[in-house]
Amino acid sequence: MKILVTGGAGFMGSHLVDYLINEGNEVTVLDDLSGGFKDNVNKQATFMKGSINDVELVNKAVDEVDVIFHLAAYAAEGLSHFIKHFNYENNLIGSINLINAAINNNVKRFVFTSSMAVYGTNQTPFDESLTPNPEDSYGISKYAVERELAITHELFGMKYVIIRPHNVYGVRQNIGDPYRNVIGIFMNRIMQGKPPRIYGDGEQTRAFSYIDDIVPCLAKSAFIRAAEGQIINLGAAEPTNINDLAEMVLRAMGSNLKSIHTPPRHEVKHAFCTIKKSEEILGYKTKVHLMEGIQKMAEWAKRVGPRKSKVWEKYEVEKNLPSFWKVLK
């Protein structure tokens, strides 16, 4: 089967590409390498460097494709308040370009990786039946694409699946991004001799999901009839607070540093999901538990070493910007 993976040079995307190729599929990767790395891309995949904002390139990439896995996005919830135009251009308009091309090329199925950011502050654990209440520009853009896919199905018959993965971590994560993926941020700082930096009191809770548990279910979602037209949370169910997470990362990295606390930023305090639907439809099961997964990632991180943080060159909005983002180095 011919499959297009957007964001296939990134963390989750590259693991998905490996899985799909191992299953015998013909895979094309479309990625602008803004957050991913060419070395992540499976050598058996066809690689197209470029953005989902390039309509001509998107149309070329989608030509004769059977299935699209759309992972390309800049997933920084907190930062999205300060880069609104960039957020909507890349996460929403780019997605619309892809949906248009999918309609025009009669793509059989469109799998979209959304986010639990669509829930906002809501009743935990987040269930797919909850009314979305996104509180940041990133979550708003993801929810808009979800609605667009539902309407596209009604009007044009294109089959789709919406997956809401949450707090995925593991080997190949971009640890040089200082705005997202807390485990990677902690590891990169520790390797630079800097302590983990925790926003607020550290009692925020998240459920962290190891990449090897996520990818098989994500891949299968395109080929399971029961998944058609569904919204499915995908990831671990057990929440962990950030204070405990930092201690686990320090232990895995073999560091004696102590975490520091900075003023809180605007974020959802408690965010974790129900997973019954993914268990029933996709066969999800947490096989790699948190400390084991952190240890695996730490061993990889120490092999590749620290990465220079890629700092945002110009924020679109600087009012109320967290002070530590102004001085990132």
* Per-residue pLDDT, 325: 82
* Per-residue pLDDT, 60: 99
* Per-residue pLDDT, 329: 46
* Per-residue pLDDT, 226: 99
Distance CA 39, CA 19 (A): 16
* Per-residue pLDDT, 32: 98
pLDDT tens-digit series, residues 76-90: 889 999 999 999 999
pLDDT tens-digit series, residues 49-66: 999 999 999 999 999 999
Percent of the residues in the chain that have a pLDDT greater than 70, as a whole number = 99
Average pLDDT over residues 30-56: 98
Average pLDDT over residues 222-233: 99
* Per-residue pLDDT, 328: 66
Distance CA 51, CA 27 (A): 17
pLDDT tens-digit series, residues 175-199: 999 999 999 999 999 999 999 999 9
How many other C-beta atoms lie within 10 A of the C-beta of residue 52?
26
Distance CA 199, CA 246 (A): 12
* Per-residue pLDDT, 146: 99
Structural domains for the chain: 2-168+208-234 (3.40.50.720), 170-206+238-269+289-326 (3.90.25.10)
Mean pLDDT of the chain: 97
Residues carrying an active site annotation = 138
Is the pLDDT assigned to residue 17 strictly greater than 50? yes
Name the more confident of 75 and 253: 253
Is the pLDDT assigned to residue 324 strictly greater than 80? no
Report H helices in the chain.
11-22, 55-62, 77-80, 84-87, 94-104, 137-156, 182-191, 211-220, 242-253, 276-282, 290-304, 323-326
Distance CA 105, CA 64 (A): 7
pTM > 0.85: yes or no: yes
Average pLDDT over residues 253-282: 96
Average pLDDT over residues 126-134: 97
CB 9 within 8 A of CB 31: yes
Average pLDDT over residues 147-157: 99
From the number of C-beta atoms within 10 Å of its C-beta (0-12, 13-18, 19+), residue 13 rates as buried
Amino acid symbol at 251: R
* Per-residue pLDDT, 281: 99
* Per-residue pLDDT, 183: 99
Average pLDDT over residues 239-255: 99
Band of the pLDDT at 266, cuts 50, 70, 90? Answer: confident
- Beta strands 2-6 and 26-31 are parallel
Average pLDDT over residues 224-244: 98
Average pLDDT over residues 139-159: 98
